[in-house]
Chains A and B, each alone.
Chain A
Amino acid sequence: MSDMYGKGILKGLGVSLKRFADTYLDDLKWLGRRYGTDQGIAHRSGKDASGIFTVQYPEEKLPMPEEFRFIPFLVYDEGPNGEKNLRCTSCGICSKVCPPQCIWILRSSDPVTGRPIPDPADFFIDADICMNCGLCAEYCPFDAIKMDHDYEQASFGRNVLNKAQLSKSAKYYESIRPANAQRENAARLAKEAARVGKAA
């Protein structure tokens, strides 16, 4: 308990005053580079941040960590003639593990034999129901469904995304998640090498 009434309030106001001054001092120290630059944003969200550290969205955006996840997409590998080969084999694991059950897949079958072929006729994700948990991407055995980084998806209608809307190239995937893609590619190559070795 303070000995003089009001001492605690003054102490607190001192903290406020210091923080108020810090913003301007920091501005001076950074000489205009504090806002709108990557270093400025990193400084404002780092251990030495002082003063105001609001990020002025949408003019400024926080850097996105690799693991950030938002709405899944389907990965396709580009063929030699520019065809899109979806990695998805419509095995249904994503659909079965999805907690709010927002994924459903139309399987395709061979028109002659009638037997199912491992390529989805269509693929739907109800983005309004999706809870961005990332379990589909985690348990997909073919690295075919991955979580996106694009969070600016506000719209007026209902967002049931189909196969065409969901497909994105493997290059895009590598650009948003370089470390993950590298690890997965290495694992896939090792697996294939092992299979070839066994066959030979």
Chain B
Amino acid sequence: MATPAPAQTIDLSARFPGILQPDTRPGYTGWIVDKSNLLEFASALKTELGYDYLSSLTGVDYLPEGKMEVVYQVYKTTGGPGVLFKVQVPRAEVVEVPSLMPVYPGVELQEREAWDMYGIKFTGHPDLRRILMWEGFAGYPLRKDWHEPYFEEEVKPFKSRWPEGKIVQAEGKNRFADNVTYPAGFDPENQTFKPEEALYDSLEKYQKAEIGLDTDHIIVNMGPQHPSTHGVFRVAVMLDGETVVNLKPVMGYLHRNHEKIGERNTYIMNMPYTDRLDYLASMSNNFGYALAVEKLMNVQPTERADYIRVMMAEMTRISNHLFLIGTLLNDLGAYFTPMLYALEERELILDIFEAVTGSRMMCNYFRFGGVARDLPEGTLQKVREIFFERLPRKIDELDRFLSENEIIRSRTVGQGVLTAEDAIKYSAAGPLARASGIPYDVRRAEPYSVYDRLEFDVCTRTHGDIYDRLMIRFDEIRQSIRIVQQVTKQIPEGPIVSMKPVYQVRVPAGEAYGRVEGPKGELGFYLISNGKPTPWRYHVRAPSFINLTAFGPMCVGQKLADAVAILGSIDIVLGEVDR
């Protein structure tokens, strides 16, 4: 177990005099860095102090104060608490902040997202294009003064529903052509606007091979409708024959601005919405969100609730990994037999979810200070039966079925290698990083809930190829089974929620970042409260979105067919990528 480093052993303000102030707003932590010293500060943080892992970057719009803020979270991959720092700039049509790409290349997609959503221009970013919205989109949707067509009210509950008691249905209001806004100077009839041009231009920037024939390269678009992209995900690839020379992920086809919805919802309303982020691991999402709000409210869940939460989160991890094993084998061409073998075991876990939470996938089970309801009678018995008597041997069977298969090995061993350095560089999280040999697991690096009382190993593999990423899922399933087994023995009796269940909680002003080790990697929720019933800022650090940063570099030099397998081994869920 990694020993957490003592909090803030180095006084940062003494080390960086003049360019750094502590954030003194009530409820806030971290540091405010001067914009002009940002790069210098970040590189010193990385090289001198060892904060090598940039976990999350996001924008915040403080409309009443006339300020915009960029919030950075950096951690050490050796564990321990991180450093939270912010850059503040006056609000404007387009604000400029230096890009951290030279120091932390893992910010690539996150800076593009902040540009897309907030209009924060990161100077020095080599490929700053919109990422979730399309190029012809007008405005920056997460800014507080941006309103969508059919905008009804700033926050829920809407007055039309209560107390007025009527509904306005959007489709009844649809008058053609007046629900779309175009940017200034944009004419939809005019053919000169080419939204994809910037994307294809960015594909042209690649390292030319030094030797070999002078051949023409072609651009191929794979997706958004393609079975191996696990949803509506598109990759634009520059190909030399069959070899990938450059690859860019294109996403946002499932974008619904989860964060804007979240900023209009009251705190409890967001819980069922988090289920729909990574819909294969709904209770991990519940977990992260509940932790963040509990941090803000300063409440602790009861002990029984903590154990139930951990049990549910680990079952979620197992079901998620089983799904990944199945779909990855589908991507490799082993059509549906391994998938169905894996899904059989997942089905038994979903049965438990249904009995406990009421739903197989959209569980909506966690509440602030505990969980929604106690385990029904007989649940623990069923869990014991499955986790002691069935799952261990079934996982072994699946392992025997797949892991020595020569076809799988020849397709995956040595393919799509992500080195340990690159994994840190591109902010890869979860199994993707651990398959590359980085023993980083939030459950151990910064233990939450009751993980510090449970025995389990942080699994790592060393090669960082597709095969290791497949096998690490088996390792992690075995560890999760171990955790669930311990929970069934240790779980105490007692209340399941530590505060009175109310439909509208009071959350004091401040900020909080709650993070958990989701099945796909570090899942974080960054919340800002201003004391109102709805959060002022609600940001999701989505692991499958950020893991895609490493997708392009991993594919360069590989065959196009292997890019499919590499994507499968990253494990993305489009509900979370696009949010």
Q: Which residues of A are at the interface with B, using a C-beta cutoff of 8 A?
A: 1-2, 5-9, 11-12, 15-16, 19, 45-49, 53, 62, 65-69, 92-93, 95-99, 101, 103-107, 122, 124, 126, 131-135, 138-139, 147, 179
Q: How many residues of B contact A (CB 8 A)?
A: 56
A138 touches B501 (CB 8 A): yes
Q: Once the chains are docked, how many angstroms separate the CA of A133 from the CA of B269?
A: 9
B364 touches A133 (CB 8 A): yes
Distance from B504 Cβ to chain A, minimum over Cβ atoms (Å)? 8
A133's nearest neighbour on chain B, judged by CB, is B272
Distance from B309 Cβ to chain A, minimum over Cβ atoms (Å)? 17
A104 touches B161 (CB 8 A): yes
B377's nearest neighbour on chain A, judged by CB, is A179
B:446-466 near A, CB below 8 Å: none
Q: A15-B397, A104-B166 are in contact. Are A93 and B503 (CB under 8 A)?
A: yes
B345's nearest neighbour on chain A, judged by CB, is A49
B:399-448 near A, CB below 8 Å: 400-409
Q: Once the chains are docked, how many angstroms separate the CA of A25 from the CA of B488?
A: 33
Q: Once the chains are docked, how many angstroms separate the CA of A147 from the CA of B355?
A: 14
A-B contact pairs, 25 of them (CB 8 A): A8-B405, A11-B405, A12-B402, A16-B337, A16-B401, A19-B341, A47-B385, A47-B389, A48-B390, A66-B376, A67-B357, A68-B354, A68-B358, A69-B358, A97-B266, A101-B156, A104-B162, A104-B165, A105-B162, A131-B272, A133-B272, A139-B501, A147-B358, A179-B376, A179-B377
B265's nearest neighbour on chain A, judged by CB, is A99
A-B interface contact total, Cβ < 8 Å: 136
B406 touches A8 (CB 8 A): yes
* Interface residue B187 (Cβ < 8 Å from any Cβ of A): no
A47 touches B400 (CB 8 A): no
Q: Once the chains are docked, how many angstroms separate the CA of A62 from the CA of B272?
A: 25
Q: Once the chains are docked, how many angstroms separate the CA of A2 from the CA of B161?
A: 66
Q: A105-B162, A132-B362 are in contact. Are A15 and B401 (CB under 8 A)?
A: yes
Of the residues B157, B351, B407, contact of A45 by C-beta under 8 Å? B351
Quick one: CB contact mask for B240-257 with A, threshold 8 Å, 1 for yes?
A: 000000000000000000
Q: A15-B397, A104-B160 are in contact. Are A139 and B503 (CB under 8 A)?
A: yes
Distance from A87 Cβ to chain B, minimum over Cβ atoms (Å)? 17
A7 touches B390 (CB 8 A): no
Distance from A171 Cβ to chain B, minimum over Cβ atoms (Å)? 21
A103 touches B161 (CB 8 A): yes
B:469-515 near A, CB below 8 Å: 501-504
Q: Once the chains are docked, how many angstroms separate the CA of A122 from the CA of B165?
A: 9
Of the residues B162, B272, B359, B502, contact of A99 by C-beta under 8 Å? B272
B:515-538 near A, CB below 8 Å: none
A48's nearest neighbour on chain B, judged by CB, is B390
**Told that A104-B161, A135-B269 touch, could you supply 10 new A-B pairs with CB distance under 8 A?**
A7-B404, A12-B401, A47-B385, A92-B162, A96-B162, A101-B156, A104-B162, A126-B167, A134-B372, A139-B502
A67 touches B385 (CB 8 A): no
A133 touches B348 (CB 8 A): no
B:233-279 near A, CB below 8 Å: 265-266, 268-273
Of the residues A5, A104, A105, A134, contact of B358 by C-beta under 8 Å? A134
